Amino acid sequence: MLSINQKKYINSLQQKKFRAQHGTFLVEGEKMVEELIQSDFEIEFVFVVKGNRVKGFEAIEINEKEMKSISALSTPSNFLAVAKQKKQQADLSKSNFVLVLDNVKDPGNLGTIIRTADWFGIHAIVCSNECVDVYNPKVVQATMGSIFRANVTYVNLLEFFQQNNAIPVYGAMLEGENIYEKPIQDKKAFLLMGSESFGISKELTPFITNKVMIPKFGGAESLNVAVATGILCSAYRQKNQ
C-alpha cells in the first residue's frame, strides 16, 4: 500500500528543490535498486510491484498503478527506492586523476560521464555549481549504478583551481595539442571538460596547464561531451595503468 503522503513526497523528488530540502533521491529499476542496497548509501524506502522481491531490505509491496504514479520513468520498472543523498567532499589526496566538469547541463551526459569514469576507475568528479544535479532522476538512471561508487562534489571552480594550483590541469579544447602526439603523462592531474554548448568558461582557461585536443578527421563540429570524456579518460589510462 502506498499512502497519499508517500506519493506526494516521492513525486516531489523529481524536483531539485525538494530533493535538496529532504536530502533524498529516487533510484529505479531492479539492478539499480540491488546496487543501492549493496552500496553504503542509506535507504529510506524500497517499493516493489507485488510478486517481486529484493534481498537485504524490507520492501513495501504496491500495485502497478501505484508504481506508475510514483515513477519518474516513462516505462516504470517493478522497483523504486528512495535513498539519502551523501554530502561528499572532494578528497584529492585519495585520487590521482580527477575529472572536473564545467557547466555540464544535460542529465544523460552527466550520468554517462559518471559511468564512464567508474569504468576507468576514476572516482573523484568535481562539478561546477552550474552543472545539473547529480541526484536528478535522469542522471541517476544514466549512471547505471556507478553513482553508488562515485565521489561527486559541487564547487566554485574558480576558487577550486586557485586552491589547488600545484596539480596540472588538462583542458579539452579545439585549439589544444593532439592527444595522440602529446598524451596525458601526469599520473596526478585534473581533466577539465567544458559545457556542451560553450566549452570551457573563459575565466577558467588561465588555470589550464595542458590544452589537449582529440584530432578531427571529418565534418562534425564537436564531439558529445560524454564521448570526449571517454576518449580522454582512455588516453589517460593508456599511459597510467
Q: Using CB under 8 A as the criterion, which residues of the chain lie in contact with its own copies when the complex forms? A: 108, 112, 115-123, 144-146, 149, 180, 214-224, 226-231, 234-235, 237-238, 241
Which residue, 104 or 122, has its beta carbon nearer to its own copies?
Answer: 122
- CA dihedral (144, 147, 148, 151) in degrees, to 10, reads 150
* Nearest distance from C-beta of residue 52 to its own copies, angstroms: 20
Which residue, 180 or 198, has its beta carbon nearer to its own copies?
Answer: 180
* Nearest distance from C-beta of residue 70 to its own copies, angstroms: 22
* Nearest distance from C-beta of residue 101 to its own copies, angstroms: 15
CA 230 to each of CA 8, 112, 224: distance values in angstroms, whole numbers, following the listed order? 38, 9, 10
Place of cell 500495485: 63
Which residue, 206 or 219, has its beta carbon nearer to its own copies?
Answer: 219
Count of C-beta atoms within a 10 Å radius of residue 115: 19
What is the rounded CA–CA span in Å between residue 29 and residue 9? 19
* Nearest distance from C-beta of residue 165 to its own copies, angstroms: 27
Grid cell digits, residue 74: 516513462
Would strands 189-193 and 169-178 be described as parallel, antiparallel, or unpaired? parallel
Would strands 97-101 and 189-193 be described as parallel, antiparallel, or unpaired? parallel
* Nearest distance from C-beta of residue 89 to its own copies, angstroms: 20
Which residue, 2 or 152, has its beta carbon nearer to its own copies?
Answer: 152
Which residue, 71 or 109, has its beta carbon nearer to its own copies?
Answer: 109
Which residue, 49 or 114, has its beta carbon nearer to its own copies?
Answer: 114
| 81 strand-pairing partners | 27, 46
- Cβ(190)–Cβ(100) below 8 Å: yes
What is the rounded CA–CA span in Å between residue 125 and residue 225? 14
* Nearest distance from C-beta of residue 115 to its own copies, angstroms: 5
